[in-house]
Structure 1
């Protein structure tokens, strides 16, 4: 689009060093989207999502979590997710400072959905709404099965579990900023604790929230995540699941439908009196 400036990178000082982020901005946005990415990946994989959101009137921000992408920290080592939630708040503050008074929507995918859920429990007052796609909630069979073993076996993410579009898996497999190695035991323990913390903290009340999940998700299966959602949801939580869709709803073969659902939800909330 002619009014779209190129994406720009920014750096914030997170709890463990530099948080490297990316912003896709437009003049006078109607809303701001802050994206929290998933385990092992990075914010650069969300370029097409950001462009679609820009077309819908949003300025888009996101940063690589500690130990991910271009940010500092030992690779994929997160033993405690509460400081990662604090890091996400730095991104929200940065976006808010660049667009004062513009409502902010948090979009979290997979592990980022878990982080976004916890952020919403703590800081819903800073957000207009929250969107969770394929979030790690309730329990995660990957965590439970690996922690039960004396030694963590080789556990790279299978690219074929991401999307029915083979190009998505191929690009993921070739991406040097994606972690292609094993889970660290402290990270598995941190994930389990974070899910328990969210469950204990209760629902998000009247905060508008959209939960989206692929029914064919083999990486973060729907049933366990849905159980976690039941602890989190409130009267303004909306849900939709996609038959056959795998883990990355935003990169699936029906991605246009999914983004339209996200944008429609946000536009509906924006239209409500505040």
Structure 2
């Protein structure tokens, strides 16, 4: 695996930890935006593939996640998380002036990445969304019906057809295994509405990858969000039989081949 290093910065709500996988002469910078309850350390394989493809890779632990500050999985405003990601992009640009930037967001990270593109898309070369929480997400509606959200643990089998992925997830001490926090659910609902009313992504090259058998963020709900925000340069890849974490699926190399091929097309010649 590619070597990495870590640093911290003071984000909107405290100290955030960032992992960077360096490249001496990168063709592009890739900024990874992780999903709910997890951390950037789960993306080692993705980062390694991207480094070998010519990228310098950066990825923060969001507030309340991984090794960053904050109450666990407590997010009051996702605009703050977007601002923190923008700080990471700023550091990447300072490290590699003039190098194109690609943002890659998974699940809740897809929501953050989409909102990032709406706010800062003019500065991006491409956007990749993996199983994004955009459009309609029935889980959110169900949980918001409770004053105190019930503890509904994620079934690790819904992550990937590879059972080792679920086992590692269950045993990872940096993964949150408790219930949703109501402020986080309310912030998710607010951001979904904000994305819906904030318009399309214009000409930004966008790749949407999704597992056809994703039970956590079902395909149909995300499609409604994609349809509402897509511009003319959308590429779609739906993988039969794949579950939620397509970057950790049994066909992950196929998925990452699609990502790198898409990035090659999007990069300036």
* TM-score in terms of structure 1 length: 0.96
Shift of 1:58: 0.5
Secondary structure of 1:258's counterpart equals helix
**Which residue is 2:205 aligned to?**
208
**Which residue is 1:73 aligned to?**
70
Matched, 1:44 2:41: yes
Contact 2:147 2:182 survives alignment (8 Å): no
Matched, 1:181 2:178: yes
Structure 2, gaps ≥5 residues long: none
What CA distance in whole angstroms lies between the structure 1 residues aligned with 2:148 and 2:73? Answer: 17
Shift of 1:271: 4.7
Matches within 5 A, 1:24-173: 24-173=21-170
Residues 36-79 of structure 1: per-residue CA shift (max 9 Å, x gap): 00000000000111001111001100000000000001100112
Contact 2:75 2:183 survives alignment (8 Å): yes
What CA distance in whole angstroms lies between the structure 2 residues aligned with 1:52 and 1:205? Answer: 28
Secondary structure of 1:182's counterpart equals coil
Structure 1, gaps ≥5 residues long: none
* Worse overlay, 238-247 or 145-154: 145-154
Distance 1:11 1:217, change over 3 A: same
Contact 2:7 2:17 survives alignment (8 Å): yes
Contact 1:156 1:183 survives alignment (8 Å): no
Contact 2:107 2:133 survives alignment (8 Å): yes
Count of aligned pairs between the two proteins: 269
Residues 20-47 of structure 1: per-residue CA shift (max 9 Å, x gap): 0100011101111000000000000001
* Worse overlay, 165-174 or 141-150: 141-150
Shift of 1:269: 0.9
Shift of 1:238: 1.1
Secondary structure of 2:18's counterpart equals strand
What CA distance in whole angstroms lies between the structure 1 residues aligned with 2:172 and 2:123? Answer: 33
What CA distance in whole angstroms lies between the structure 1 residues aligned with 2:182 and 2:209? Answer: 28
Secondary structure of 2:185's counterpart equals helix
* TM-score in terms of structure 2 length: 0.98
Residues 198-241 of structure 1: per-residue CA shift (max 9 Å, x gap): 00001001111111110100000000110011111000111111
* Root-mean-square deviation over aligned CA pairs: 1.0
Secondary structure of 1:65's counterpart equals coil
What CA distance in whole angstroms lies between the structure 1 residues aligned with 2:157 and 2:110? Answer: 21
What CA distance in whole angstroms lies between the structure 1 residues aligned with 2:245 and 2:183? Answer: 25
